[in-house]
Amino acid sequence: MIIKSGDIINLFHSPKEFILTTFSPEKKISTHLGVIDFSTIKEFGQKVYTHLGEKYYVLRPRISEISMNVKRTTTIVYPKDAGYILMHSSLSFPSEGFRVIEVGSGSGAYTTILALFVGPKGKVYSFERREEFLRNAKKNIEKYGLSDRVEFFLKDPSIDGFGVSDVDFIFIDVPEPWTLIKPAYESLKPGHTLAFLSPNIEQVQKGIKEMENTGFVHIRVYEILEREIMVREGKTRPVDRMVAHTAYLAFGSKVLEL
């Protein structure tokens, strides 16, 4: 597994000391454990030492790390939620070349995951109304070499819709999801899934109500909790602090008439 320029690598020292970065042989980066000279990095799985002798491993990033590691200007969709949303999407068949809508782009964390999932023949239409967020999300997607699969729009689709039709899945992550239910209904293939994510229960209540009124059925709401377990000889136990809540995840399927 020779590493090529442009590959994303995870320089891993420990769960709290790691760097996700794009490889290029001339690069040198400074960590607070010392400087890493990239000219000595050749292949995945190897070790590399800082000039202070600290050991890092060169790993292929996990998807979760890629999405968590975007430069953040907003809250992001956590991996525990991101994977669950995919599993409850209608991106089941025909199973390639999916076209999906996402709004808002945020920092591009979930855009990244969607772009990976739809594959090279697929397309993610990502909408964002705040220009600085869009710019940052774009940069994150470029860094990961996924620009071909993502089309960004600087736009508030609650006003005159998405302008994209017959998509296979729509994901809404904005503070007022209920304003986008009708536009989403217009753009989504019948029988397919709309998902939205909201931290507050009142947002879920309003969003769900609008879905019921607009023509969605099979509406379900979930919350996902992730607990890390520390497995150490004689000291195995859950870690003592956890993220207790990120957001509620709501799903519904569009029907032609109720």
Binding of a copy of itself by 255 (CB under 8 A): yes
Q: Which two tokens stand for residue 73?
A: 């200007």
**Taking CB under 8 A as the criterion, which residues in 141-170 touch a copy of itself?**
144-146, 166, 168
Please give the size of the binding site for a copy of itself, defined by CB under 8 A.
Answer: 96
- Between residues 71 and 220, which has the closer beta carbon with respect to a copy of itself? 220
Binder of a copy of itself out of 26, 93, 159, 160 (CB under 8 A) = 93
Contacts (CB under 8 A) with a copy of itself, residues 97-136: 113, 115-117, 119-120
CB of 227 to a copy of itself, least distance (A): 5
Strand ranges inside 45-183, DSSP E: 47-49, 55-59, 99-103, 123-128, 150-154, 167-172
Site string for a copy of itself, 60-89 (x = CB under 8 A): xxxxxxxx-----------xx-xxxxxxxx
Q: Which tokens sit at 10?
A: 């995870």
Q: What residues numbered 224-253 form the site for a copy of itself, per CB under 8 A?
A: 224-231, 234-246, 248, 250-251, 253
Q: Which of 123, 127, 169, 175 is nearest to 150 (CA)?
A: 123
Answer for which of 16, 32, 95, 160 binds a copy of itself (CB under 8 A) is 95
Tell which one of 58, 76, 103, 134 touches a copy of itself (CB under 8 A).
58
Q: Between residues 13 and 155, which has the closer beta carbon with respect to a copy of itself?
A: 13
Q: Is 172 in the site for a copy of itself (CB under 8 A)?
A: no
Interface with a copy of itself by CB under 8 A: which range of 31-39, 51-59, 127-135, 156-164? 51-59
Shortest separation between residue 32's beta carbon and a copy of itself, angstroms: 19
Structure tokens at 36: 């890493």
CA–CA separation, 138 vs 145, rounded Å?
Answer: 11
CA gyration radius, the chain: 20
CA distances from 130 to 97, 136, 173 (A): 28, 10, 14
- DSSP, collapsed to helix, strand or coil, labels residue 3 as coil
Instruction: Name the residue nearer to a copy of itself (CB basis): 87 or 132.
Output: 87
Binding to a copy of itself in span 183-202, by CB under 8 A: 189-193, 199-202
111/81 Cα distance (integer angstroms): 13
In the region spanning residues 2 to 31, those forming contacts with a copy of itself, defined by CB under 8 A, are 7-8, 12, 15
Strand partners, 30: 35
Enter the tokens of residue 234. Answer: 């004689």
- Near a copy of itself by CB under 8 A: residue from 24, 59, 135, 186: 59
205 in contact with a copy of itself (CB under 8 A): yes
With a CB cutoff of 8 Å and minimum separation 6, the contacts of 60 are: 1, 9, 10, 44
Residue position matching structure tokens 């023509």: 215
Residue 248's SS3 state is strand
